[in-house]
Amino acid sequence: MYIADETWPELGDYFDDESLALVPLGSTEQHGPHLPLATDHLIAEALASEAAERTGYLRTPTINVGVSPHHRQFNGTMWVDAPEFRDYVESFTRNLTYHGIDRVVYVNAHGGNVDHLREVGRRLRDDEELYAIEWMWDESIPELVDDLFEQNGPHGGPKETAMIQHLRPELVREDRLADARDGGVPDVEAADTIKHGARTFYDAADNTGNGVLGDQTDATAAKGAELFEAASEQLCRLCEWLDDQPFEDLLPKDHV
């Protein structure tokens, strides 16, 4: 169920019976010469929509600009600063509690959002107002990602390429896949920006000339469909698990 498609009386029926919501989040940032800037938020929205359809749980609108200053050198990348992002997501989430939501899954598809969503979840939990957890699609199926791709990224690589080939094939510049591979680097280690255990890079441009890593030519729509199905299943299982938990068990433990 997508909240914005419903009327307020219809939503009253949902809030009478359910207390869980899915919040998709991504970014609007460069994903190399072959993928659209919308890549992350397209993936997040598609997975949240699929899970909402399968389970009946509520999906909110997508937060499609995230914490992406590390991609700022590339044309068109948009971002919000981390403190403002955290405050916005916290406010966005708190208003759901007004209607009776007490647990949220952040369906996230952008690595730059992870730490900040965890911090927001801690704030809400410490206030004993709501339990919110961050879920990252590729981290839910790491074995499958490793099995499908020899060089899987982490950014703009074949796993994201395959997902967009499956979800929005018209947005993939198929004639640029080899350029993406050849103009980027296989992985962060190959960029030689880790020195004596220290990560010396701050921006994507410090690692890769065209903004991406991995072998994009290894991606196919069929692999994307396999990834999407497996991740959707994991997300549905997470929602069902979370819905089954007594709310008091989700709150902070007492001081020892």
**pLDDT per residue as tens digits for the range 135-158:** 999 999 999 999 999 988 889 999
Q: Are 137 and 51 in contact (CB under 8 A)?
A: no
* Closest listed residue to residue 218, CA positions, set 155, 130, 157: 157
Secondary structure element (H or E) that encloses residue 105, with its range: strand 103-108
Is 157 in contact with 146 (CB distance < 8 Å)?
Answer: no
pLDDT band, very low/low/confident/very high, at 188 (cuts 50, 70, 90): confident
The residue ranges of every structural domain in the chain are 3-250
What tens digit of pLDDT does each residue of 25-61 get?
A: 999 999 999 999 999 999 999 999 999 999 999 999 9
Please report, as a single letter, which amino acid is at residue 4. Answer: A
Claim: this prediction has a pTM higher than 0.75:
yes
Q: SS3 for 48? A: helix
User: What does residue 151 show for φ and ψ, rounded to 5 degrees?
Assistant: -125, 95
The fold adopted by the segment(s) 3-250 is Rossmann fold (3.40.50)
pLDDT band at residue 204 using 50, 70 and 90 as cut-offs: very high
The counts of H helices and E strands in the chain are: 11, 6
CA distance 11 to 146: 41
Residue 253: predicted pLDDT = 94
- Going by pLDDT thresholds of 50, 70 and 90, the confidence category of residue 83 is very high
Instruction: Give 198's strand partners.
Output: 195
Cβ 55 vs Cβ 8: under 8 Å: no
User: Mind listing the pLDDT tens digit for each residue in 108-130?
Assistant: 999 999 999 999 999 999 999 99
Rounded to an integer, the average pLDDT of 65-71 is 98
Task: Report how far residue 99's alpha carbon sits from residue 141's, in angstroms, rounded to the nearest whole number.
Answer: 33
Dihedral of CA 75/164/215/207: which sign? positive
The pLDDT tens digits of the residues spanning 14-33 come to 999 999 999 999 999 999 99
Q: Which ranges constitute the DSSP H helices of the chain?
A: 8-17, 39-55, 82-97, 114-126, 142-148, 158-167, 177-183, 188-191, 204-207, 221-244, 247-250
**Contact, 44 vs 29, CB < 8 A?**
no
Rounded average pLDDT over 204-220:
96
C-alpha distance from residue 131 to each of 55, 90, 146 (Å) = 19, 12, 31
Mean pLDDT of the chain: 97
Q: Which helix (H) or strand (E) holds 135?
A: strand 131-136
Kindly state the DSSP code that residue 80 receives in the 8-state scheme.
Answer: -
Q: Distances from the Cα of 200 to the Cαs of 79, 160, 188, 207, 212, in angstroms?
A: 22, 25, 11, 10, 18
Determine contact, residues 32/182, Cβ cutoff 8 Å. Answer: no
Asked whether the beta carbons of 208 and 179 are under 8 A apart, the reply is no
State residue 233 phi and psi, 5-degree precision.
-65, -45
pLDDT at site 174: 97
Q: Are strands 198-199 and 194-195 parallel, antiparallel or unpaired?
A: antiparallel
